[in-house]
Amino acid sequence: MRRRFLPAVAVLIVATVSTSLAAAAGLEDGDSGHRRGGHGAYAIGLWGDLPYSTTQATVGVPNLIADMNRQDLAFTAHDGDLKSGSSECTDAVYTQALSYFNSLRAPAIFTPGDNDWVDCDRTAGYSSLAQLDKERKLFFSTPFTLGQHRLRQDVQSTPLCLGVSGNVPCVENRRWSLGGVTFATLNIQGSCNNLCDTAPDQAEYAARNQADIEWMQQTFDEAKSRRSAAIMFISQADPGWDLTDGTRAPLRDPQTLAETDGQLDGFQEFLVALREQVIAFAKPVAYVHGDSHYFRIDKPFLDSQGRRLENFTRVETFGDHQENGNNDVHWLKVLVNARGREVFTYQPQIVPGNRLAVPAP
């Protein structure tokens, strides 16, 4: 979690973006083998950076989960940060999250956040690598998602990442396809992707960064082989995309993708590789993240000539702002249309029980 954000929250809702798909892949229930694939449209739920306080944990998130469970979702995805960056990384944090995910009716996907492991070094007696090992064991021990119904996923099983004992598989990096769209998670973190903050780890970063780049490139290859109409990536970090919003992310030259503030840059190599793939793919690519706690849907990615990449959409989920209780404990519904032109349509879901400034009528 970065510490330089503005405390106030603003919500930018860019006009809905629509997306189109081709053939269906199939959603599999890990217990029964039931398939829910098809050629029709479906909906998914996105959330993250929650809970950051006791109020959010005991009231806000249960309200959010109940709201998700009332809707017909193909799957849900939490883009990391199960707690605030300054709180202790107790076992209760992880078991509480596991309880949340398994209370969701739809398959529940999760990708780790820096508050869950990178920032655990801020508290004496904790090791970031040990906490990541713990998350890998608890949340990613099988090729299935969490949730009351489960989806089988492809797993990055090559031992490219680092754990306490050395090289380990990056089992948190997952990929799956549904209704002509390819989805993937990537373990990309705030706190400079583990290059700054307390006890930065250059070796861990270098290994995981190369694994993320490889998984991202393989995801494009998989999408092309499947003739997928679109790709959605889900990760935690807001890497910064341009020169417009230094209060929430690193300022970055949008053409070279180099960070401009002189700080260690944990994202440029990945972003350069991503841009190359986005341009070559040509079809819609959505990139979902949390981290900077400012719900928005926009198009901040430019090519090396300064032209906007029309097929790329950044999606940042609601979250955090514990100073306002449950004010930002909401989620984003994404409609996926297998035959539309733009593929994804975004519908913010303001949980009625979590409305604070303007209570629900």
User: Which pLDDT tens digit goes with each residue over 13-60?
Assistant: 333 333 333 333 334 443 333 334 455 799 999 999 999 999 999 999
Q: What is the pLDDT of residue 24?
A: 35
Q: Which residues contact 320 (CB under 8 A, 6 or more apart)?
A: 1, 49, 50, 52, 81, 84, 293, 328
Cα within 13 Å of Cα(149), Cβ side:
17
pLDDT at residue 191 greater than cutoff 50: yes
Residue 22 confidence (pLDDT): 32
pLDDT of amino acid 39 = 55
Report percent pLDDT > 70 for the chain.
Answer: 89
pLDDT in tens, 193-218: 999 999 999 999 999 999 999 999 99
Predicted confidence band of residue 338 (pLDDT cuts 50, 70, 90):
confident
- Ranking 15-29, 90-104, 260-274, 302-316 by mean pLDDT, the lowest is 15-29
**CA distances, 256 to each of 202, 237, 242 (Å):** 23, 19, 10
Q: Residue 78 pLDDT more than 60? A: yes
Q: 80 Cβ partners below 8 Å, 6+ apart?
A: 48, 49, 110, 111, 112, 113, 114, 115, 116, 189, 235, 236, 290, 291
For residues 218 and 340, which has the higher predicted lDDT (pLDDT)? 218
Q: Are 354 and 346 in contact (CB under 8 A)?
A: no
Q: What is the pLDDT of residue 15?
A: 35
Model confidence band, residue 163 (pLDDT cutoffs 50, 70, 90): very high
- Looking at residue 40, its pLDDT comes to 77
Is the N-terminal amide bond of 352 cis, ω within 30° of 0?
no
Per-residue model confidence (pLDDT) at position 34: 31
Q: Are 106 and 74 in contact (CB under 8 A)?
A: yes
Is the pLDDT score of 241 beyond 50?
A: yes
String of DSSP letters for 181-193: EEEEE----HHHH
Average pLDDT, the chain: 90
